[in-house]
């Protein structure tokens, strides 16, 4: 499908006092040529004419021409409190000038403080107090699964269909999207259970008369497809890459009970949902009334720094003492300083509350758009972790994949960067830095309204 690009009209991101520096680096054509010739071809770009970004400030980024964009995807859900947040820049610059690299074979004052702060945000009496820092979410998840297997002595792991847990061999096996798996990669001892995806219920049922069959189906899966005792279950409280798939409230309670009855540990992959993004809770799992045995973190933990962590119960963490385990850059002073500064800003500046208030306002505006645009099949998510699934037909729910690409293109022309996800690439992912304002949310909704009118081919359609 191809829609003629309309020139951007009056819509543009809200004004900011930040004045971008004049850009005098290599041209976009040069940068693109270097990338094409010297980077691996598997790296993807969004947009037909790839975007080059050269500066960021809080919720906004700028390209080499000085055009401003609202970054409603926060990098990829990795910027929590704003691009180049001035306080973080100052603290990290000071640290870079003082000591850039040590490994965990030496003591550094910041690492313990950061781990203590993370532990203080875990539920009381959860025992979630032992952190291991990594450079990415994939590494954090690898470590969590290793710990679960060592602690329980079991090999089988259960993750969820439509989930994403990383791009390393082990986490690719946990991931359950054909898009993100390679044919040659083995996936030993991993089974995939059904997610709570009511809009596309895998059983064709309707909530609540379904009795949450998607969650209960885990028990026969364990009995039939594993050795009957499992090492762990890993799941995202809201599936991010899978398209902001938000389960029914009872889903995780049922799943965690079954997992524990079959000897497994529960791992919450909070790489996207953590640090207040869902607005109503600091961690995504808290929205579902469950307490995991391990929590994995990345992306927003570092506000853009390469940082991840696995936080475990101390008794579980003890399994790592059986052999040597090491991560050269995990816990380095620069990333830790960035993580600590980010967390202190989240606490001090009411970032979670902003996610709740601005996210709530944005979601209600998106729901109004759902009444006007037949392309919108479902609006879902919590706080500033929102998804808009686009369909060609509301009855058949045929994924509007090509239309989603066009929506992203036209939004970009108007200064709005969105993400997309889901197995069919037909869900808009809206997860901006959590410092966004109501004006940003209104700009986003106005922009989507205009773009959906162009792509959907009609001004306004009542909901059938």
Ligand X SMILES: Cc1ncc(COP(=O)(O)O)c(C=O)c1O
CA-based nearest residue to 326, from 133, 86, 118, 91: 133
SS3 call for 400 = coil
SS3 call for 54 = strand
What are the backbone dihedrals phi and psi of residue 396, each rounded to the nearest 5 degrees, phi first? Answer: -80, -20
Nearer to ligand X, 88 or 140 (CB): 140
Q: How far is the CB of 269 from ligand X (least distance, A)?
A: 5
SS3 call for 33 = helix
Nearer to ligand X, 23 or 180 (CB): 180
CA distance 304 to 311: 20
3-class SS string, 89-132: HHHHHHHHHHCCCCCCCCCCHHHHHHHHHHHHCCCCCCCEEEEE
Nearer to ligand X, 166 or 264 (CB): 166
| Chain residues that interact with ligand X, rule: CB under 6 A | 136-138, 141, 164-166, 236, 240-241, 269, 271-272, 298
* CB crowding 117-156: b at 16 or more within 10 Å, else e: ebbebbeeeebbbbbbbbbbbbbbbbbbbbbbbbbbebeb
Q: How far is the CB of 63 from ligand X (least distance, A)?
A: 24
What are the backbone dihedrals phi and psi of residue 160, each rounded to the nearest 5 degrees, phi first? Answer: -105, 140
Query: Is there a cis peptide before residue 208, judged by omega within 30 degrees of 0?
Result: yes
What are the backbone dihedrals phi and psi of residue 133, each rounded to the nearest 5 degrees, phi first? Answer: -90, 140
Q: How far is the CB of 163 from ligand X (least distance, A)?
A: 7
Q: How far is the CB of 235 from ligand X (least distance, A)?
A: 9
- CA 341 to each of CA 117, 216, 241, 255: distance values in angstroms, whole numbers, following the listed order: 11, 41, 27, 35
Nearer to ligand X, 258 or 268 (CB): 268
Q: How far is the CB of 189 from ligand X (least distance, A)?
A: 19
- What letter does residue 302 receive in the DSSP assignment? G
User: Which tokens go with 386?
Assistant: 């929102």
Nearer to ligand X, 85 or 165 (CB): 165
Q: How far is the CB of 305 from ligand X (least distance, A)?
A: 11
Q: How far is the CB of 176 from ligand X (least distance, A)?
A: 12
Q: How far is the CB of 376 from ligand X (least distance, A)?
A: 24
Question: Residue 46, exposed/middle/buried by CB under 10 A (0-12, 13-18, 19+)?
Answer: middle
Nearer to ligand X, 279 or 284 (CB): 284
Asked whether the beta carbons of 236 and 273 are under 8 A apart, the reply is yes
Nearer to ligand X, 166 or 432 (CB): 166
Nearer to ligand X, 271 or 340 (CB): 271
Ranges of beta strands (E only) in 328-372 are none
Q: How far is the CB of 138 from ligand X (least distance, A)?
A: 3
Pairing of the two strands 60-63 and 53-57: antiparallel
With CB atoms as reference, the residue minimizing the distance to ligand X is: 137
Alpha-carbon 118 to chain mean position: 19
Q: How far is the CB of 299 from ligand X (least distance, A)?
A: 6
CA distance 51 to 445: 22
CA distance 366 to 182: 35
Q: How far is the CB of 141 from ligand X (least distance, A)?
A: 6
CA-based nearest residue to 387, from 244, 240, 242, 241: 244
Nearer to ligand X, 68 or 338 (CB): 338
Nearer to ligand X, 267 or 391 (CB): 267
Q: How far is the CB of 152 from ligand X (least distance, A)?
A: 22
């Amino acid at each position: 499908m191809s829609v003629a690009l309309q020139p951007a009209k009056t819509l543009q991101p809200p004004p900011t006092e930040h004045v971008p520096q004049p850009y005098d680096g290599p041209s976009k054509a040069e940068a693109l040529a270097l990338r094409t010739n010297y980077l691996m071809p598997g790296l993807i770009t969004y947009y037909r004419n790839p975007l080059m970004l050269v500066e960021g400030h809080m919720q906004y980024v700028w390209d080499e021409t000085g055009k401003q964009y609202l970054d409603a995807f926060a990098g990829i859900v990795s910027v929590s409190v704003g691009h180049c947040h001035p306080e973080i820049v100052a603290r990290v610059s000071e640290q870079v000038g003082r000591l850039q690299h040590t490994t965990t074979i030496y003591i550094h004052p910041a690492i313990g403080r950061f781990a203590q702060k993370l532990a203080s945000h875990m539920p009381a009496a959860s025992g979630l107090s032992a952190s291991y820092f990594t450079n990415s979410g994939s590494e954090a998840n690898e470590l969590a699964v290793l710990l679960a297997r060592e602690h329980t002595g079991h090999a089988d792991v259960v993750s969820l269909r439509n989930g994403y847990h990383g791009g390393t061999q082990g986490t690719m096996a946990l991931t359950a999207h054909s898009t993100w798996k390679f044919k040659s990669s083995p996936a030993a001892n991993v089974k995939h259970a059904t997610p709570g995806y009511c809009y596309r219920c895998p059983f064709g049922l309707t909530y609540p008369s379904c009795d949450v069959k998607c969650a209960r189906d885990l028990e026969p899966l364990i009995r039939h497809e594993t050795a009957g005792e499992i090492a762990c279950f890993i799941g995202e409280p809201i599936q991010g890459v899978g398209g902001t798939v938000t389960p029914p409230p009872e889903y995780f309670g049922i799943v965690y009970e079954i997992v524990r009855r079959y000897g497994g540990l529960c791992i919450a992959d909070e790489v996207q949902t953590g640090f207040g993004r869902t607005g109503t809770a600091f961690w995504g799992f808290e929205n579902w009334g469950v307490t995991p045995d391990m929590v994995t973190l990345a992306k927003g933990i570092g506000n853009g720094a390469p940082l991840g962590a696995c936080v475990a119960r101390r008794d579980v963490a003890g399994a790592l003492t059986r052999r040597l385990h090491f991560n050269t850059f995990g816990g380095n002073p620069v990333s830790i300083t960035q993580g600590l500064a980010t967390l202190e800003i989240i606490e001090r500046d009411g970032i979670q509350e902003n996610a709740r208030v601005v996210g709530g306002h944005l979601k209600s505006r998106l729901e109004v758009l759902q009444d006007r645009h037949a392309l919108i099949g479902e609006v879902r998510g919590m706080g500033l972790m929102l998804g808009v699934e686009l369909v060609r037909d509301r009855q058949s729910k045929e994924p509007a994949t090509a239309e989603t690409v066009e929506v992203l293109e036209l939004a970009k022309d108007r200064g709005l960067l969105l993400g997309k996800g889901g197995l069919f690439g037909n869900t808009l992912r809206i997860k901006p830095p959590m410092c966004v304002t109501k004006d940003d949310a209104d700009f986003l909704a106005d922009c989507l309204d205009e773009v959906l009118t162009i792509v959907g081919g009609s001004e306004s359609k009542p909901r059938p």
